Amino acid sequence: MVRSDRGIGAEKLRARLPYDGQGLIAPDDARIGRLRERGAARFWRQVPRGLRWPAIAATRLASIVAAYWRVRAFALAAELDWRATQRLLGDCLATGALPGEAFVWREVFGGRHPLPARSAGLVLASLGDPAAHRLLADRQAAAELLRGAGLATPVTYALVARGGTADLSRLPSGRLFLRPRRGSGDRGGVAVDGADVSRRIAILARDNDLLVQELPIAAAELSTLATNGIAPVLRLSTAREPGGAPFLHAAFLAVAVPGEPSRDIRRGHLRAPIDSVSGAAKEGQWFAQPTRRFARTWWNQAPLAGRRIPAFADAVASVLSAMKLLPDLALVDWDVIVTSRGPVILEGNTGGDWILTCLGADPGPLIDLLVRWSDPKNPDT
């Protein structure tokens, strides 16, 4: 069945509910509540003043309906019992979170999710220099900035304009990595090889400019954590006080779980927090079984706990150098692959998932930092 453009647009609109990131109940932490209100107010300034209150009321109602159907589908897929389903629905209504993130936060951190993805995106986008946010969202522009400073990024073999095609004769043989020029995380990214390259380029370039890049290979010390040739990704969260020097906030290693969709926050990855001093990994967490900890991967028994990440200090130095190129940003989550030639920076995200930003670190000081960024002239805000 062919769907119309109008139908696709309606699906995207429903997926973005609640548009302002707000739930029905204010967060327990007043600091986060103020940040979320600020992000929501920034969103609603796009709407003419006379239409704001009717629009807010209409979207609140739509968000309630959407939460019910989302939770129903999630509960069936996750086989939740009635009590867990009711609690999840309450969490989603109260916070505006999607079921997956609300479920993970409660199971991993306890309580209701304080800063779900939609709200986090609005909050973090409002802090710092808008031009710097836009630059990092453009993977090609960001890579040029980093390479100009001597930092390693994936080799780009072709930039395919929207609706265009690539000259396959200019592409190397072997596996390639295709991803949209603009975006964050692994949205739309895919590893391809052989006869599939041409077809996938044509599909992915229909709606976006497309980067055709090398697929970085994990260093030998991490090869047992590579899944189907996909290297584990080192996530390094960096932050800074307004006008201050950047520092490492948190780090973890994300290992793709065989047979699971990478975009599923519960099932896609096994994540091992990393000690920022020693560079040693701790026990891994798989959000599909949030109460368990994994000293080894269960599919090939590769060790996690105690494993020292090769070139970890170099990777941290690289992202801190990258952060210095963007002095007007409060928080950036960097994705890095440690290869045989050293750390390779995949990208930096300024609107990262709050669950992952907080993994293995105390979020309290970071929240205070974001509050100061929201009003740098008043540190007591």
> 104-153 pLDDT, tens per residue?
999 999 999 999 999 999 999 999 999 999 999 999 999 999 999 999 99
Alpha carbons 251 and 238: distance in angstroms, whole number: 9
Whether the Cβ atoms of residue 121 and residue 368 lie closer than 8 Å to each other: no
The CA-based diameter of the chain, rounded to the nearest angstrom, is 61
DSSP 124-161: HHTSS-HHHHHHHHBHHHHHHHHHHTT---PPEEEEEP
Pick the CATH number of 130-151+217-374 from 3.40.50.300, 3.90.550.10, 3.30.470.20, 3.40.640.10: 3.30.470.20
Instruction: Assign 381 a pLDDT band (cuts: 50, 70, 90).
Output: very low
> 46-85 pLDDT, tens per residue?
999 999 999 999 999 999 999 999 999 999 999 999 999 9
CA-CA-CA-CA torsion sign (61, 63, 64, 68):
positive
> 273-282 pLDDT, tens per residue?
999 999 999 9
Structure tokens at 207: 């709606």
pLDDT of residue 4: 35
Q: Is pLDDT of 5 > 80?
A: no
- Given strand 176-180, what is the order of strands in its sheet? 156-160, 210-214, 176-180, 190-192
pLDDT of residue 363: 92
pLDDT of residue 80: 95
Amino acid occupying residue 269:
H
Closest CA to 216 of 304, 339, 329, 55: 339
pLDDT of residue 91: 98
pLDDT of residue 375: 83
For residue 87, the cross-strand partners are none
Instruction: Assign 6 a pLDDT band (cuts: 50, 70, 90).
Output: very low
> 155-203 pLDDT, tens per residue?
999 999 999 988 888 899 889 999 999 987 666 688 998 778 888 999 9
pLDDT of residue 170: 86
- Summarize the confidence of residues 4-18 as an average pLDDT: 67
> 212-260 pLDDT, tens per residue?
999 999 999 999 999 998 999 999 999 999 999 999 999 999 999 999 9
Q: Is pLDDT of 14 > 60?
A: yes
Of all helices (H) and strands (E), which one includes residue 344? strand 342-349
pLDDT of residue 305: 97
Q: Which residue has the tokens 């710097």?
A: 132
Residue percentage of the chain with pLDDT more than 90: 84
> 291-314 pLDDT, tens per residue?
899 999 999 999 999 999 999 999
Q: Is pLDDT of 322 > 60?
A: yes
**Domain ranges (residues) in the chain:** 5-125, 130-151+217-374, 156-214
Residue 380 Rama label (left phi>0; alpha psi -120 to 50; beta): alpha
Q: Is pLDDT of 8 > 60?
A: no
* Mean pLDDT score of the chain: 92
Structure tokens at 56: 């807010």
Q: Is pLDDT of 7 > 50?
A: no
